[in-house]
Amino acid sequence: MLKILVADDDDNIRNIILHYLRKQQIHAFEADNGKSALDIVKEKQPDLIILDLMMPEMDGYDVCREVRRGSNVPIIFLTASGDEFDRVLGLELGADDYIVKPFSPRELISRIKAIFRRVNSSNIETIKEQKYTYDYGVIKIDIDRREVIIKDMKVTFRPKEFDLLVYLAESPGNVYTRETLLEQIWGYDYFGDIRIVDAHIKKIRNKLKEVGCNVLRTVWGVGYKFEVEPETSTLIEKR
């Protein structure tokens, strides 16, 4: 069974990642500080490490240095900072990839698969594509069928609108900047106006408003988030 270590001192982020990894039938270990992470690496010899940069006792940089003394295990850095210096330093220390928080679980799974693909690892066969239906009471999003149902009515969205809505809905409450949404939905090589994100959000909101649904929020000066009442939210795995 594929083994992955998740090292992050943020309980919420760590638990979300663990949940998605275990949905993939991955044996996931966890650590809330750098020293524990290093101990688990030595004892369990994971196939990949997801490593937060800022942790107590030992930060991610020091853990990476120690791991690289005797192992080439793939490492993905997690950080709240998108600073280029941090990114370059992490990669120079031997990290294989770098993800800035907040991120969607689907993005993380894609990055893991990409790493195993690059190293020609058979572990990529372990990670299956999961299809989900997000049911938030007033709104239901079927990713497999690319359908949005609101109050028993099907609402039609254009491809980019649907992808943007899904990306936000995957992590309710997480705030995403326009830059992050542009990169994740339109791609890193998109050179158009960043206001395309605002335009698509407006179109999505107008369609939602027509059927009395208000799940997209603007966080002024930051970006956007998907927000629903916790008691109405469920995630259904489609088997």
The overall pTM is greater than 0.75 = no
Eight-class DSSP state of 97? E
Regions of the chain where pLDDT drops below 50: 231-239
Residue 22 region, left (φ>0) first, then alpha (ψ -120 to 50), else beta?
alpha
SS3 (DSSP) at 153: strand
H or E, element range at 225: strand 223-226
pLDDT for the residue 84: 65
Q: What CA–CA distance (Å, rounded) separates 136 from 231?
A: 9
Q: What CA–CA distance (Å, rounded) separates 118 from 1?
A: 20
pLDDT for the residue 238: 43
Locate 153 and state its tokens.
């009515």
Query: What average pLDDT does the chain have?
Result: 83
